A and B are shown apart, each in its own frame.
Chain A
């Protein structure tokens, strides 16, 4: 079977899979429902079967306790996510979504397999978050992927489009849950990331929540203590309102509570309420320019990526700060997946891409803890960076450290990543111990060499100066690898859960969408949905695939019209 290079954008709100075909063209793979976007949603049906994507997404409204969304924000944490009676980690949820994407790939390319896989992550993802992403791919039965930073992927997609292009561009990626800024310089087919900065907890969902919070105030509810069941319809209405305010100055909706409560919001009020979020958008942009040593005048192009950059206030801020009108040439929802596929082609040393090279930077500083003497006193446990943020990768840097007490026989150190001068305030990603010959304080010293390779692995080499003794270690974060046996078991569990045939999954998606609509609408519109449900159930009971498909088309058109009536 021929192996194809594949890129996956595992997003906060939706995910995509793209294939680099032999022609050098990137193709986005469609799901059974004909859409290239798979909502990053996982749920469990009333019969205890797993629902992923479109089938699960509407159920966040009707069955919030059996549906999980936005789990990307919890990647790399130990937080337990509940699906009915079972609990999972965020990486398991991501694995379910990845598995669904793989099934779509297998259906589109029955005679091929995924050979080189690249999965995108926010540039600012920590080592633990990256490890969780690798684990998810392993759990989904995919080959071990290379990771690419999302803004870098976007730059690659643009670079592929315009290979002769030259200049410096800023890429701003405001997705559902994360914000990344990267500055990329392009010349002679080299795409060089100069710096990247970001906020892993700032995205479109936060803007939606600002609206939902105002709605809850309007209803005299306390947003902080609101139940999942009450919050879900407000978030859905808020999302629709937010989208509407991209074009309209004022939008109104009827909230599906207490028999229908009218709520309206102007764009000015919305922007006012988002003041805190706008302040948070400014910092990474400033920092990225500073790290690259560039002024706004030296920027040639500003490129927007991620659905949330459609908001006028985001565009206005970017235009004012960077003094350029931003562009969105490639669909902002699809560009990251396309770029990830290009990177997979680069990894595979695809002939069509032989004139393109990409270099990336370390998104955060890496170093060890040490005792530090300053004019005002001794700082215990200071963080000493060895590879500084924005260093071009691969990179290898060395620093010398001496013993601090008399007759010291070993040097103990922790490996940290972060930007705080206090080691304990950064993330600890490993540790090491080396033996040294006893002697007076400061007489013995070690060389600590950090090598950071292109796949995000850190190698630490320690040399004792006096004896020349070398110690090598690889820091891969705390996440362990699965044993072959455990991997088999987890894969079997997952396959048992995902037993739906693909066409059945689309029908579930349509039924669930109707049920969610029913929950959102009131009065005559609600009655109309009830009729649609009855009509579709009738078609399903005939078990005639042609009739079901025709009914599905009709019902989906009607549903889309009704969804359009959420906001005015």
Chain B
């Protein structure tokens, strides 16, 4: 993409088997020679070379299993995005500890209970604090919603307050690009959420008993006016 005829290592001026540290050092030195406000193209070529060389250096040095594990939870490939992957290692132990919150969430969805206060306490649980657990929880939540609600009715029976809470936490609607990258097979859920965000037609709102008693149909008013008008006319004619 960046028309550089040189290899990343040639651009940086380092050996092909350089360590991460050496690659960074070389990038830093070259970067300080540029003025970012004017040398945009040179910067992009340097940046591209740096990212490539860094990737190779990191791959050579990779021994961290936790990193790979998080990538599995956080960035699934498009094909297997539906089911949350079985968590392993450190994440698994965190998730096991957070099991109570996962079941509480599942129960709420199964019961179609969208009480904002109950959901708030679930979402604010300190057990979900580790970002990798919270990423796993997000998968589980989407799964539960799709399994229990969406699959049968294509809609969610939640209210706008619940949606606002979820939006505050995950921004599934506002940050839709992230949503579709992470959950490419769940555009139906996003559609249902967008639908939920739309103002409902007025007739769908149930009138409370007390107000309903005092509602007068416009036709009744028209009738009363006509009758009174006729009476008045007769009265005047009678005079």
Contacts and interface: CB of A to CB of B under 8 A. Distances in A.
Contacts of A325: none
Contacts of A420: 173-177
A11 to B, nearest CB: 24
Contacts of B121: 275
A256 interface: no
A188 B25 contact: yes
Given A276-B165, A279-B165, A394 B43 contact: yes
A186 B27 CA distance: 12
Contact of B123 (A279, A289, A385, A395): A279
Contacts of A388: 177
Interface stretch (B128-136, B146-154, B199-207, B208-216): B128-136
Given A295-B70, A392-B47, A287 B175 contact: yes
Contacts of A395: 44
Chain A interface: which size bin? 35 or more
Interface string A162-201: 0000000000000000000000000111100000000000
A327 interface: no
Interface stretch (B34-42, B76-84, B101-109): B34-42
Contact of A278 (B31, B124, B176): B124
A455 interface: yes
A419 B177 contact: yes
B134 A419 contact: no
Contact of B126 (A275, A283, A320, A425): A320
Mostly, the A contact residues are mixed
Contact of B135 (A290, A383, A393, A422): A290
A285 interface: yes
20 contacts: A188-B29, A189-B32, A279-B124, A283-B168, A290-B74, A290-B135, A295-B66, A295-B67, A317-B129, A320-B126, A321-B129, A321-B130, A354-B32, A392-B47, A419-B178, A420-B173, A420-B176, A425-B173, A425-B174, A454-B36
Interface residues of B, number: 44
B24 interface: yes
B187 interface: yes
A189 B67 CA distance: 26
A115 to B, nearest CB: 16
Interface of A: 187-190, 275-276, 278-280, 282-283, 285-287, 289-290, 293, 295-298, 317, 320-321, 323, 349, 354-355, 357, 359, 365, 376, 383, 385, 388-389, 392-396, 419-422, 425, 451, 453-455
B40 A296 contact: no
Contacts of A365: 177
A238 to B, nearest CB: 22
B120 interface: yes
A421 B176 contact: yes
A296 B130 contact: yes
B66 A297 contact: yes
A93 to B, nearest CB: 28
Contacts of B170: 283
A357 B28 contact: yes
B130 to A, nearest CB: 6
